[in-house]
Amino acid sequence: MTQQSQSSDYSIQTRLLISVSILLFIFLGLTGIVLDRAFVTSVEAGAADRLQVQVYVLLAAAEYDDDEFYFLEDFQEPRFGQLNSGLYGFIANSKSGEIWRSESANSLSLADDDFLRTPVSVGESLFSKTQNSEQEELFVVTYGILWENGISEYNFTVMETSTPYYSEISNFRTSLWAWLGGVAVLLLLIQLFLMRWGLSPLHKMARDLKQIESGDHGQLQGSYPKELRGVTDNLNLLIKSERKQQARYRTTLGDLAHSLKTPLAVIAGVMQQLTAGKDSDNVDTRKQLASVDEQLARMNQIVTYQLQRAVQANDSSALARRVNVAAVIRKILEALGKVYGDKAMQTTLDMNEQAVFLGDERDLLEIMGNVLDNAFKYGRSRISVSVQQSDSQSGKLNIKVTDDGDGTPGDKQEFVLQRGARADTLAQGQGIGLAVVTDIVASYSGEIAITNLDAGGACVEMVFDFPQTSI
């Protein structure tokens, strides 16, 4: 199967749902990424602002004398005095490096020993990140000042562990993607509802076409959206044209059959005269007359059947009707049981009572009438009929008729089933029934096969692969 045929298996609703789902997930994914990035930026900006405040706390409490910093009062932030509190303060310059650190940082070891030497312009604040010796990330704010003497430049640095901030970010991400996932599901459900509503005219059209097929309506009725009116109008025109064409065909067929009826009647009359004549006592003549009479009967059968089909040019639907197969077969068996009452044939039935034939009931009667008539005619004592169908709505219909006769010679099986075989060339005793059956079966795109059973007898099997009609 090619990729093109595989893609055609998807319905319009499925295609739209897949397309919208892809766009929705792309949009929500990008939205989630943007919101996540914005939140991380906001958290880092908030951390920088808080650390800047702590820098001012250090700067306000610091005193400098004899090249040494000291603090006359306790810090407003007690964490500076708590060992490993997660908040650390430093004073340094580019020349001497670290000059002072808070008690909280007494055991702190930085991964980069020269980090505090990085010069910062006076009056500027620099936000950055660094790591301790244990690879734990720290947020850093460094503020450059010029001391009161107007000569010495120092960096006031405050560090804080990033763990609480990243925990907050993690909680935000969990909540964010949970909400976006819920929104995605809700939007998909809404979209599915909207698509079903939007595609409902197509479903209505399918139901209307099914009603036309079953013969309940003659054309598409009701109002459709303007986008579908062109399609519905053209379908109605197509149905109307098909019915006119079928009517012309049946009329022509009827005229032809009627035109053949009169010459056949004349020939039949001549045959009666010849049979009653003096030469009829001759054995060869009788055989010839019998052969001609048989062929004449076959021609009459053809004409009769075509006349019956021509009668169908009434107001019936041009499309298929649903015919119960089991009921038709029982009707035929009842009639044939009376015709061949002297043979006392035993019939075995294995039929799906729900099986349906999508077509004209008279066609099914013609098919089964000919097949069952042959079974009664050439069978000895037993006939078996099997009817199976994959789905009660239609599906593949399999009809099998077997008998316990002599079977059909192998060289004649293909010929008698050949579509379009001429009646006047059929073998003696075979009749035209199966040729007519083959033609009708072919008109429904069905298949017919005749085989011989190992135990003796013939088996005629017909298969109709009707399309599913459920919506």
Within the chain, how many helices (H) and strands (E) appear? 9, 14
E strand intervals along 291-381: 322-324, 346-351, 356-358
Q: Which position has the higher pLDDT, 143 or 314?
A: 143
Return phi, psi of residue 187, to 5°. -65, -35
pLDDT value at 276 more than 80: no
pLDDT value at 429 more than 50: no
Computed on alpha carbons and rounded to an integer, the radius of gyration of the chain in Å comes to 48
- In the sheet where 137-146 sits, what is the strand order? 97-101, 87-93, 153-161, 137-146, 125-131
Asked if 160 contacts 47 with a C-beta cutoff of 8 angstroms, the reply is: yes
Q: How far apart are CA 49 and CA 69, in angstroms?
A: 25
Looking at domain 244-310, its CATH architecture is Orthogonal Bundle (1.10)
Output the pTM of the full model: 0.49
Q: Domain map of the chain by residue range?
A: 1-214, 244-310, 322-465
- Take residue 76 and report the two structure tokens written for it: 């407003």
Q: What pLDDT score does 66 carry?
A: 65
Residue for token digits 């209505």? 204
- pLDDT tens, residue by residue, 209-261: 777 766 666 677 777 777 777 787 787 778 777 777 777 766 776 667 666 66
- pLDDT tens, residue by residue, 178-193: 999 999 899 888 888 8
Burial annotation 178-197 (CB, 10 A radius, 16+ → b, else e): eebeeebeeeeeebeeebee
Asked if 191 contacts 20 with a C-beta cutoff of 8 angstroms, the reply is: yes
pLDDT value at 200 more than 70: yes
Q: Percent of the chain beyond pLDDT 70?
A: 72
| 436-451 mean pLDDT | 84
Alpha-carbon separation of residue 398 from 11, 175, 287, 405, 465 (angstroms): 29, 60, 41, 22, 9
Q: Topology of domain 322-465, per CATH?
A: Heat Shock Protein 90 (3.30.565)
Number of CB atoms found within 10 A of residue 54's CB: 22
